[in-house]
Amino acid sequence: MVKAAAMEILFVTTELAPFVKVGGLADVSAALPKTLKALGHRVTIVMPRYPAFEQAGLLLARRLTPITVEMGGHTWEVTAFDGRLASQVDLVLLDAPGIFDREGVYGERGEDYSDNVIRFAVLSRAVAELVKQRAAGGAAIDAVHVNDWPTALVAKYMRDLGVDAPSVLTIHNVAHQGVFPKEMVPAIGLSWDDFNVSGIEFYGSVNFLKQGILSADLVTTVSPSYAKEIQSEEGGCRLDGVLRSKPRIVGIVNGVDYGVWNPATDSNLVARYDGEDATNKARCKGALQKELGLPLEANAPLLLHVGRIVPQKGADLVIDALPRLLRGSDAQIVFAGDGDAALVAKLEQAVEKAPGRAAFVRAASEAMVHKLFAAADIALVPSRFEPCGLVQLYAQRYGAPPVAHATGGLIDTIVDCDAKLETGTGFLFEAPTADALYATVQRAIAAFESDRWPALRRRVMRLDRGWERAGRQYEHAYRSLSASR
Residue 59 half-sphere exposure toward CB, CA atoms < 13 A: 2
pTM assigned to the model: 0.94
- What band does 363 get if pLDDT is binned at 50, 70 and 90? confident
Query: Please, what is the end-to-end C-alpha distance for the chain in angstroms?
Result: 24
pLDDT higher than 80, residue 482: no
The pLDDT score that the predictor gives to residue 137 is 87
| pLDDT for position 108 | 87
Confidence of residue 3 (pLDDT cuts 50, 70, 90): low
Which tens digit of pLDDT belongs to each residue from 19-41? 999 989 999 999 999 999 999 99
Q: Which domains does the chain have, with CATH numbers?
A: 8-255+468-484 (3.40.50.2000), 281-461 (3.40.50.2000)
Sign of CA dihedral 72, 76, 80, 81: negative
Q: CA 44 to CA 16: how far, in whole Å? A: 13
Strand pairing report for 167-171 and 179-181: unpaired
Q: What is the mean pLDDT of the chain?
A: 95
- Convert the pLDDT of each residue in 186-224 to its tens digit: 999 999 999 999 999 999 999 999 999 999 999 999 999
Q: Which amino acid is at 115?
A: D
Dihedral (Cα; 119, 125, 126, 130), 10-degree rounding: 160
Instruction: State pLDDT tens for residues 257-303.
Output: 999 999 999 999 999 999 999 999 999 999 999 999 999 999 999 99
Instruction: Report whether pLDDT(2) > 70.
Output: no
Angle value at C-alpha 80, between 113 and 221, nearest 5 degrees: 60
The yes-or-no verdict on residue 1 having pLDDT over 60 is: no
Report the C-alpha gap between 24 and 381 in whole angstroms: 14
Radius of gyration of the chain (CA): 23
53, exposed or middle or buried, with CB in 10 Å at 0-12, 13-18, 19+?
Answer: buried
Q: Which residues pair with 306 in a beta bridge?
A: 336
The answer to whether residues 222 and 409 touch, using CB atoms and an 8 Å cutoff, is yes
| Per-residue confidence (pLDDT) for residue 346, from 0 to 100 | 97
- pLDDT tens figures, 417-475: 999 999 999 999 999 999 999 999 999 999 999 999 999 999 999 999 999 999 999 99
Which residues contact residue 362 at a Cβ distance below 8 angstroms, ignoring those fewer than 6 apart? 336, 337, 338, 344
If one counts every other C-beta atom within 10 angstroms of the C-beta of residue 118, the result is 20
Contact partners, residue 57, CB within 8 Å, separation at least 6: none
CB 151 within 8 A of CB 12: yes
Q: 392-413 b/e with 16+ CB inside 10 Å = b?
A: bbbbbbbbbbbbbbbbbbbbbb
